[in-house]
A and B are shown apart, each in its own frame.
Chain A
Amino acid sequence: MKHSLLLAALLTASTIYAQEGETATTTLVPTPSHIVIECKSQECVQQAQETLKSNAKASEEEVLAPNKEVRISVVGQGVAPMNTISPAQAYALAKRAAVADAYRLIAEKVKGVRVDGQDLIQNMMVKRSSIRTSVDAMIRDANIVETIFKEGLCEVEMEIVLSYAQFVQQ
């Protein structure tokens, strides 16, 4: 009995030690932010490395360089009003709203968004939360690539080609 108890204690201690030995901490820095991943096996470490590499590639932003063009593509959405006199009118109105939305998305991508936020907290509770976002831009030579109208929703795919020369100060 004593021997069996001793054997069980030894086995438990050895498994705990083996688990601690396998644990490896990997630190990868693909971007300015610091990511820490804890892995217990070598396969996990490799998988994490591959995932981080693919994420880093996906998050790489295209930079405008001389002799290189950047194509920006967006999908704007517009809704047809309820009180239209014909499907054609619904389509026309939804498409126009979708075009305006696509223009807004291009402006947001190229120029950026201004965000103003205000929270009113009273007696440890949020009484009023307000967020205002705005964008203001002039867009030239944007092209409609595709228009899809389905169940009252119109989607317009729009693209714009930016070149380095457009941004060089004269």
Chain B
Amino acid sequence: MRSRNGDRPFIRSICTTIIVSSLSFLNAQEYLISYRYVAKNALSYNESFHVSHAMTQCGSQSYEPLILENTDNNNLKATLLKNFDLFFDYAKKLGLHVRHEEHTLNHQSSAFTTLTLKTTCFKVEFNDSFVIIQALK
């Protein structure tokens, strides 16, 4: 049955758009990601990278997205480790915390430098071939 104004295909396209967009929004998951790197006397000493599902909802404002290739069957940590340089460049824009301590005892010095990405919430959307990651404020 046609509608009174005969605008059936237009209404259908609007409904489809709304349903698809709401499904894609529901498909997006929220993850907490943290990174810590320690260098001792200019040598790599320790590196830790943690990824976990967020148990509470994060904020709604988001930064620009980072798009990576989805090669690891929706495994975020594996994807990020595979494209770590890209993710690190993205993290640099968010801001990294640096702490450096140097101790000189009787003219012999030792230094520790710690680089930290504080635990940040990311909205992650898995598509067939891409992973879209957006940091949330």
Contact = CB atoms under 8 A, between A and B. Distances in A.
Interface stretch (A20-28, A62-70, A129-137): A129-137
A99 B95 CA distance: 14
Interface residues of A, number: 33
A138 interface: yes
Query: Looking at A104, A134, A137, which has the most chain B CB atoms within 10 Å of its CB?
Result: A104
Interface string A95-108: 01111110110111
A130 B97 contact: no
A104 B103 CA distance: 15
Given A100-B113, A103-B115, A135 B94 contact: no
B2 interface: no
Interface residues of B, number: 25
A104 B44 contact: no
Interface of B: 37, 39, 42-44, 47, 92-107, 113-115
Interface stretch (A9-17, A34-42, A48-56, A75-83): A75-83
Contacts of A136: 97-100
Contacts of A150: none
Contacts of A98: 42
Given A96-B37, A129-B105, A107 B43 contact: no
Contacts of A101: 39, 42, 113
Contacts of B42: 77-79, 97-98, 101
A93 interface: yes
A128 B96 CA distance: 36
B102 A134 contact: yes
Interface of A: 77-79, 81, 93-94, 96-101, 103-104, 106-108, 128-143
21 contacts: A78-B39, A79-B42, A97-B39, A97-B43, A100-B39, A101-B39, A101-B42, A103-B115, A106-B98, A108-B100, A129-B105, A132-B102, A134-B100, A134-B101, A137-B98, A138-B96, A139-B96, A139-B97, A140-B92, A140-B95, A142-B92
B44 A81 contact: yes
What secondary structure prevails in chain B residues at the interface with A? strand
Nearest to B95: A140
A131 B99 CA distance: 17
A103 B38 CA distance: 12
Contacts of B113: 100-101, 103-104
A131 B108 CA distance: 10
Q: Top 5 nearest A-B pairs by Cβ distance?
A: A140-B95, A131-B104, A104-B100, A103-B98, A93-B44
A96 B95 contact: no
B102 A100 contact: no
Given A100-B37, A100-B113, A135 B98 contact: yes
Nearest to B47: A96
